[in-house]
Chain A
């Protein structure tokens, strides 16, 4: 079976869209974090697929993905630390409850 580039790109874009949807609609901060991870990983897939199918002679996209994974891990660690910090104050991780700063 011959897979063409769209069979990778469309799932990755759907994944990105799911991430954006989840980021906007979810109320739980951990779920928001998962949505953000979906978005970042969709971008990684994009880079790998472009590199593999369109520019097989070079490795730039693969290297970018490696760095992007490391950056995403750092972001997740920081965000989880901040979520724990909020949890200590609020005793839950619902974003509808952190609404004291507004307008």
Chain B
């Protein structure tokens, strides 16, 4: 065996090293130094994230084509790393809390393991490796959702998550089994040349199963029913992780599967399937978000509708679409984590999460309300903030295909952006305009939470304005454009 292949996976190996060090710290350090574990993990992970930005990555195939590192996967993994670092910062104080601190090591270990699963998902070019990555990414999240054992909601959320996750992976596996039966291989590169010619009904069925299986993970609309319950019931740190990191990884690997495996003969088929899913996802997500009072549930529906926008980058199936999708995920990570940072800080201090609790928040906590306002503006797409640019680029990428149907789709998405502004501004209105006699008192947030929020806000303000970020993403996508070779 040629061991130099391992050079292709520096980020996975680095993550494994971080995991091993955290595990050793958790297992062998004396109990009086255990409360520094969150800090230790965050610092270690920050060093690892900084190191993985060093652009000396070896691109190419490893393990006889099962694993591929391209410039795009490298960028995507770095984006996820930054997101996880923010989640770790936000969770630091919470994980030292009264009921959670006994098991805080498990929280960090499971979190890092799911991230490893997502990295494998992103880089896998063989369905066996992909399924292993998918399960590594989704199973520990069920355990994380059940983390607050003394809260009833946490148990219910975990039960709902684990059943839907297994059900969706069974459907996904059935789809893959038909792909295998029709082509005799599980390598992404080998499947595409064997499915040329007239589309077969069985393979279209298989494609539908695969889309349904990944759609569960991405919470696209007919498969979204678990999302709101799990987001509401799970601890807020887990919810923020689930809503940004796992969604971003699933979206990227979804693009790879659709383009590389089914791109050649089935592009028209999956584009129409996605077309219906996008309209449903954006619209239903928006309409249900309007009537939510619980903020975690509200952000769940908002994240469903945001997933629909991410899919616009996939349906475009060109380099620009891929760039804008990665860019959208980057911006979405910062905006959503700013919102979840505020919610987590307030929930930890007072235990209140409904929108009415936020009435008059500006009087007592001006900085928290300011952060929340920027997050809502960015999610809604108001111009100077990054959310506007990400929506703009994703619409441009979709319009590049030039078909009339896609123009109609972009129009529907635009109309939905306006609807979404209404409910995002409801939160801003509650904080700044409404008055209440039992306002949330002034909260002293922990330094780690504050650091996480400052980084998120900096991201929201700067990513849209510093154009070299978009250029860097575009260069990376251009370099890994060979996945689109089969389409045109």
Residues of chain B contacted by A101 (CB below 8 angstroms): 153, 156-157, 160, 228-229, 232-233
In the docked arrangement, what's the CA distance between A67 and B232, Å? 33
B 127-180 contacts with A by CB, 8 A:
127-128, 131-132, 135, 139, 142-143, 146, 149, 152-153, 155-160, 162-163, 165-167, 169-171, 173-174, 177-178, 180
Q: Is B174 a contact of A46 with CB atoms below 8 Å?
A: yes
Q: Is A47 a contact of B180 with CB atoms below 8 Å?
A: yes
Q: Is A71 a contact of B170 with CB atoms below 8 Å?
A: no
Residues of chain B contacted by A102 (CB below 8 angstroms): 229
Number of interface residues of B (CB under 8 A): 39
User: In this assembly, does B237 line the interface, its C-beta being within 8 Å of a C-beta of chain A?
Assistant: no
Q: Is B156 a contact of A61 with CB atoms below 8 Å?
A: no
A100 to chain B, nearest CB (A): 6
Residues of chain A contacted by B186 (CB below 8 angstroms): 60, 64
B 173-206 contacts with A by CB, 8 A:
173-174, 177-178, 180-181, 184-186
In the docked arrangement, what's the CA distance between A29 and B166, Å? 13
Q: Is B163 a contact of A74 with CB atoms below 8 Å?
A: no
B58 to chain A, nearest CB (A): 27
Residues of chain A contacted by B165 (CB below 8 angstroms): 75
From A39, A67, A74, A83, contact of B167 by CB (8 A): A39
A71 to chain B, nearest CB (A): 5
Q: Which chain B residue shows the least CB distance to A9?
A: B181
Q: Mark A44-69, 1 if CB is under 8 A from B, else 0.
A: 00110011001100101101100110
Q: Which chain B residue shows the least CB distance to A32?
A: B163
User: In this assembly, does A79 line the interface, its C-beta being within 8 Å of a C-beta of chain B?
Assistant: yes
Q: Is B177 a contact of A50 with CB atoms below 8 Å?
A: yes
Given known contacts A68-B131, A89-B155, A98-B156, is B139 in contact with A78 (CB within 8 Å)? yes
Q: Is B155 a contact of A71 with CB atoms below 8 Å?
A: no
Given known contacts A23-B167, A36-B163, A75-B139, is B156 in contact with A100 (CB within 8 Å)? yes
Q: Is A74 a contact of B157 with CB atoms below 8 Å?
A: no
B176 to chain A, nearest CB (A): 8
Residues of chain B contacted by A46 (CB below 8 angstroms): 174, 177-178, 181
User: In this assembly, does A10 line the interface, its C-beta being within 8 Å of a C-beta of chain B?
Assistant: no
In the docked arrangement, what's the CA distance between A24 and B3, Å? 48
In the docked arrangement, what's the CA distance between A70 and B342, Å? 40
From A29, A47, A74, A75, contact of B159 by CB (8 A): A29
From A23, A50, A78, contact of B143 by CB (8 A): A78
Interface residues of B (CB under 8 A from A): 127-128, 131-132, 135, 139, 142-143, 146, 149, 152-153, 155-160, 162-163, 165-167, 169-171, 173-174, 177-178, 180-181, 184-186, 228-229, 232-233
Q: Would you list 16 pairs from A and B whose C-beta atoms are within 8 A, ordered by A residue?
A: A16-B174, A32-B163, A36-B170, A40-B173, A43-B170, A50-B177, A58-B184, A67-B131, A75-B139, A78-B162, A79-B142, A85-B149, A98-B159, A100-B152, A101-B153, A101-B232
Q: A79-B142, A89-B152, A100-B152 are in contact. List 11 more A-B contacts (CB 8 A).
A: A16-B174, A19-B170, A40-B166, A60-B185, A67-B132, A71-B131, A71-B169, A78-B142, A79-B163, A98-B156, A101-B156
Interface residues of A (CB under 8 A from B): 16, 19, 23, 29, 32, 36, 39-40, 42-43, 46-47, 50-51, 54-55, 58, 60-61, 63-64, 67-68, 71, 74-75, 78-79, 81-83, 85-86, 89, 95, 98, 100-102
